[in-house]
Amino acid sequence: MIFPLLQIAAIAFVAIYLGRWRASVLRRNAQSWDSLVARLRADWSAHDLSDHFLWKEGLDVTADETWTRLQGAHGLWAMYQNARVMLEMADYADRNCESVDRELIEALRSDAMQIRLCVLTALTKYAFSQASEGVRVNAFRAASLYTGMAARMTRLLQENAAIILPDFVAAM
């Protein structure tokens, strides 16, 4: 008697999950460029991490300076959220531009996932040990990946959609 109920519950759970997943895919595909740019965090910017932010990869600061300029966990969380938005921007470019460089899109996707993993690792360590050396190293790695991803996104926009590049630069 209990086995059929478990089967029905499992099927219902899978059906609900697939329905929610389908709705999120449709919602994501219906987004416009302006709505994506508007989702970038305006309350934090990585400009303090590098003099050539958005134009060249790499940081101009040490791991300790990075933590200070990130404003701690606030900057890490902003990078986490912006990495997701830039991932969605890369997907948008992939869907709407025929001449987009596939390797660049894959690099952006990889960057976004690495940034999010580094940030989650740093925030977890921070929750247990405050700003220890391990947290600062993970924050430095995430910031380095973030500036690289932003530079690649800028290059993607320069090559494929120069008209929308100013909106991206202003939002970052």
Q: Is the torsion defined by CA of 48, 51, 56, 61 positive or negative? A: negative
Q: Show pLDDT as tens, one digit a residue, over the chain (172 residues).
A: 688 888 888 899 999 999 998 988 788 777 887 888 888 887 777 777 776 666 667 677 777 788 888 888 888 899 899 999 988 888 888 887 777 788 888 898 999 999 999 999 988 888 887 767 878 888 888 888 888 888 888 888 887 777 777 777 777 7
- With 0-12 / 13-18 / 19 or more C-beta atoms within 10 angstroms meaning exposed / middle / buried, residue 66 is buried
Query: Between the CA of residue 47 and those of 16, 76, 80, 99, what are the distances in Å?
Result: 42, 14, 16, 30
Question: 142 near 76, Cβ under 8 Å?
Answer: yes
Three-class SS of residue 47? helix
Query: Where are any strands of DSSP class E within the chain?
Result: none
